[in-house]
Amino acid sequence: MKYFILFILFLFPSLSICGQTINKQAEKGKTYVRLVDFTRHHFTKKWKNTANNAVYQRTATANNKYFERLASNPQRKLPLVPRKDLTGDDYLVDSAYYCKTIFSTKKYTLNIYKSGSKFKDKMGDEMFAPVDYLVFVTMDSQQRIVDYLVCYYNVHRLYESAERYFYMNNGHHITLINFYVDEIDTSFKGIQKYLINNQGKFVLLNKTNGHKRVTK
């Protein structure tokens, strides 16, 4: 029994750092969701929607719940619209609003912002593709933007969607994963791994498009 208790005490601190970092304000904001660590899973290039891809389903469900449960402050709008990752001509991209601070260092603060609901009534319209998204933003001590990274999005088309989900490990490592879903198939579109450096910049470590690695 003594050794079992010691094992539990050893195991507990090693649980997902994402749960500790992303959800550290759970008690205050009621936004607790433990994100899924998909980083060691090998996704096939494409699979039928009727197939049960458990890791994809859990990843999507956890990220979508995290988005839904985040409360934003309409008085604190991000002074830019992050279009560099949301470039479709038919995309309807609203401004993003402050939700909470993830952590702070001596050099920068990492905040998360959530898209507004300006285009919610366009969902299901075949002429438009409204976008839900979350964006990480680093700020310096003067509240100036250092860098930003769109860590989650869901592009809502009538019969298809483009999706991005994220996982944060050890506070400073962020992995993004992309999918495309139509009426029949779900396609794996690649992974990007980022590091937040000491200056608050999101540094791309490596990237794959599907199963092909892209060199920087």
pLDDT by residue (tens digit) across 42-71?
999 999 999 989 999 999 999 999 999 999
pLDDT by residue (tens digit) across 140-195?
999 999 999 999 999 998 899 999 999 998 778 999 999 999 999 999 999 999 99
Cβ within 8 Å of residue 114, ≥6 positions away: 67, 70, 72, 96, 97, 99, 133, 134
Q: Pairing between strand 129-139 and 91-92?
A: parallel
DSSP state of 94: -
User: pTM for the complete prediction?
Assistant: 0.83
State mean pLDDT over 27-48: 82
- Judged against a pLDDT cut of 60, whether residue 113 lies above it is answered with yes
pLDDT by residue (tens digit) across 79-89?
999 887 787 77
- Whole-number pLDDT of residue 4: 42
